[in-house]
Amino acid sequence: MSTWNDFNNADDQQSYDLIPKGTIAKVRMTIRPGGHDDPNEGWTGGYATRKAETGSVYLNAEFVVTEGPYARRKVWSLIGLHSPKGPEWAHMGRAFIKGILNSARGVHPNDDSPQSQNARRIGGLADLDGIEFIAKIDLEKDAKGDDKNAIKQAIAPDHKEYAAVMGAVQAPAPAPAAQATTGGRPSWAQ
């Protein structure tokens, strides 16, 4: 009998403990496309998801820890873009994405120089798909009331653990939407 017909001698499933709350880790974000576009909002490429029952719009994000003791572990979170209940969810989503850009591109949160402002701009949601940044792992309740990991905070360069987790102090990565260069430097770094 084939190994794909008889599973009696298959290994048991491996269970994983939750990543401890407060863990700082480098992650890569992948957006699971939901097929919702609204060009007036800048939501193109099918990355946004719209929940028909509530009218809420969000990014369905998967984060993979890239290094350290939890490497290859996955965490899923929603990033709010719109809620018919009011602007708070969208404000939280925009703040989180700003934090992601600060972390990924090495921008200090209080830096309002033209270069930093440009580093906080994206050409579209596609620019966030595959972005690597430093995240703080949190815990929240799932639909059944059980604890699950979530990511709600990106760690910026002003955090004491940023440099150690990000690796050697590095120059910010060029913004994908602004890869044109001027004088050998990315246009957003001018």
Q: Which amino acid is at 123?
A: G
Q: Which of 154, 170, 149, 40 is nearest to 92 (CA)?
A: 154
Quick one: average pLDDT of 86-115?
A: 96
Residues with Cβ within 8 Å of residue 1, at least 6 apart in sequence? none
Instruction: Give dist(CA 13, CA 35) in Å, integer.
Output: 33
* pLDDT 10s digits, 144-171: 999 999 999 999 999 999 999 988 444 4
The percentage of residues in the chain with a pLDDT greater than 90, rounded to a whole number, is: 78
The average confidence (pLDDT) of the chain is: 88
What DSSP element (H or E) covers 105? helix 88-105
The alpha carbon of residue 73 and the mean position of all alpha carbons in its chain are separated, in whole angstroms, by: 14
Q: Is the pLDDT score of 128 beyond 90?
A: yes
Q: Which of 85, 117, 80 is nearest to 101 (CA)?
A: 117
Q: Is the pLDDT score of 52 beyond 70?
A: yes
Q: Which of 100, 16, 20 is nearest to 61 (CA)?
A: 100
Residue 32, token pair as written in the block = 């699971």
Note the pLDDT of residue 1.
66
Q: Please state whether the predicted TM-score (pTM) of the whole model is above 0.75.
A: yes
Q: Is 156 left (phi over 0), alpha (psi -120 to 50) or beta?
A: beta
The SS3 assignment for 60 reads: strand
Q: Is the pLDDT score of 86 beyond 60?
A: yes
Note the pLDDT of residue 189.
47
Residue 46, token pair as written in the block = 């099918």
| Contact status, residue 172 vs residue 119, Cβ threshold 8 Å | yes
The alpha carbon of residue 109 and the mean position of all alpha carbons in its chain are separated, in whole angstroms, by: 17
